[in-house]
Amino acid sequence: MIYAILTRFASFRRPGAYLIDVFPELEYLPLYNFLSGWKSVGDEIHRKDAATFKYFWDRMKREIEEGTAPHSWGKGFVQSDYGKHGIDELQAIYAAYGLHRVGLIVVER
């Protein structure tokens, strides 16, 4: 699952992969948005990544409740009161697993 996220990340983050990255003002042209699939591609990537990250987030929460979660930064973050800082659950999920993704990229190289 995580490697699918890395593959998506690597493919859409290549410079010039989408014209919108080179000319961000194209976002405000309705004709470009109609002809280009960049928004639907981005929405699909977000949906898949969020579902994968939520799977691991929920597993961590379950392991914490069962008392079987290993000591980790993620465990501490899940147990923290991130909500009092205005962070919703999806933002917390991305924060926790974004750092995990960076670690995987570094380890693979």
In total, how many domains does the chain have? 1
Range of the domain at 98: 2-108
Residue 33, judged by CB atoms within 10 A of its CB (0-12, 13-18, 19+), counts as middle
pTM for the whole thing?
0.70
pLDDT for 71 equals: 84
Nearest to 57 by CA among 9, 49, 5: 49
- Rounded to whole angstroms, the Cα distance separating 102 from 13 reads 14
d(CA 36, CA 26): 10
Spatial separation of the C-alpha atoms in residues 61 and 69, rounded to whole Å: 8
Please answer whether residues 100 and 74 qualify as being in contact, where contact means their C-beta atoms are separated by less than 8 angstroms.
Answer: yes
- Rounded Cα distance between 99 and 32, Å, is 34
Residue 98 has a pLDDT of 67
Q: What is the pLDDT along the chain (109 residues), one digit of tens a residue?
A: 667 877 777 777 777 778 888 888 998 998 988 888 888 888 898 899 899 889 988 998 999 999 998 888 778 888 888 889 999 999 998 888 766 555 444 444 4
